[in-house]
């Protein structure tokens, strides 16, 4: 199946936007099984710069309609046979460059999410007399 996807990917890449090709490689390279839509959007915005609200999601749709990405329960994942075909046909320096750009963007996104999750609980914490909680 991997060989079939390798052949298919050669033709599919030509019809994808630059952002969709980048995302295709990101999803193949990242050591995660599925990502929430807001995490994907954060990486795309960081890669492409500010975009119109609907345009940020266009690369994901390009991949989804070609069955390169599957949505399950609000999370998006790339099937392993497609992942292996992409990794196997991409040069190591290119894969490294994609990881260097995408992983920090993903970590920044989750750091911001953590700040939002923690802030309400910190402000609701009981105060200890004479010091911090």
pLDDT tens, position by position, 8-31: 777 788 889 988 999 999 999 888
Q: How many Cα atoms are found within 13 Å in the side-chain-facing hemisphere of 53?
A: 0
pTM for the model: 0.75
Q: Say whether pLDDT at 42 is over 70.
A: yes
Nearest residue to 40 (alpha-carbon basis) of 5, 64, 6: 64
Full set of structural domains in the chain with CATH: 2-118 (1.10.10)
pLDDT of residue 123: 54
* Structural tokens at position 103: 């992983």
* pLDDT tens, residue by residue, 48-97: 776 665 677 889 999 999 999 999 998 999 999 899 889 888 899 998 89
Q: Say whether pLDDT at 4 is over 60.
A: yes
* pLDDT tens, residue by residue, 90-100: 899 998 898 88
Angle separating helix axes 92-123 and 37-48, nearest 10 degrees: 120
Beta bridge partners of 70: 77
Q: Exposure of 62 by Cβ count < 10 A (0-12 exposed, 13-18 middle, 19+ buried)?
A: buried
């Amino acid at each position: 199946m991997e060989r079939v996807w390798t052949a298919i990917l050669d033709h599919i890449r030509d019809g994808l936007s630059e952002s969709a090709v980048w995302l295709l490689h990101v999803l193949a390279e990242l050591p995660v099984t599925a990502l929430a839509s807001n995490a994907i959007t954060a990486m795309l915005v960081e890669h492409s710069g500010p975009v119109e609200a609907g345009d940020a999601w266009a690369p994901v749709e390009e991949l989804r309609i070609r069955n390169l990405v599957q949505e399950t329960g609000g999370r998006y994942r790339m099937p392993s046979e497609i992942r292996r075909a992409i990794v196997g046909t991409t040069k190591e320096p290119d894969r490294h460059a994609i990881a260097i750009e995408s992983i920090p963007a993903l970590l920044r996104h989750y750091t911001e999410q953590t700040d939002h999750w923690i802030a309400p609980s910190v402000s609701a914490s009981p105060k200890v007399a004479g010091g911090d909680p």
